[in-house]
Amino acid sequence: MSAKIKYTDEPLGKVQVIPDFLPSPAELAFREEGVKVTLALSKRGIEFFKSEATKHHTQYQRMIRRLIDAYVDAQAPTDRSSGPRA
């Protein structure tokens, strides 16, 4: 795998410029406002998230927060103004 790459000065062929699709640095630095809550969760659930967080080198609280945010995003298209469901 230590073979050197040999570059040549040949034409690239048909090149297409695409618009920039990457988020700006300001968008990457954005942090959504957080609200601290006290919440009792099952020991089994917390052990699961701690184990998975260790595997993926992240924080278990962040994983739980993202799970809740994903649930909220999935529910967004529904009409919440119609009141409680029966």
Q: What would the pLDDT profile of 14-60 be if each residue is shown by its tens digit?
A: 989 988 888 777 777 777 888 999 999 999 999 999 999 999 999 99
Angle, CA of 75, 50 and 34, to the nearest 5°? 50
Domain count within the chain: 1
Any domain includes 1: no
Buried/exposed code over 38-70 (b: 16+ C-beta within 10 A; e: otherwise): eeeeeeeeeeebeeebeeeeeebeebbeeeeee
Are 51 and 36 contacting, i.e. CB atoms less than 8 angstroms apart? no
Any domain includes 26: no
Angle, CA of 50, 54 and 60, to the nearest 5°? 40
Cα(71)–Cα(85) distance, rounded to whole angstroms? 18
Any domain includes 36: no
- pLDDT tens-digit series, residues 54-85: 999 999 999 999 999 889 888 977 654 444 54
Residue ranges making up the domain that contains 56:
43-76
Q: What is the mean pLDDT of the chain?
A: 84
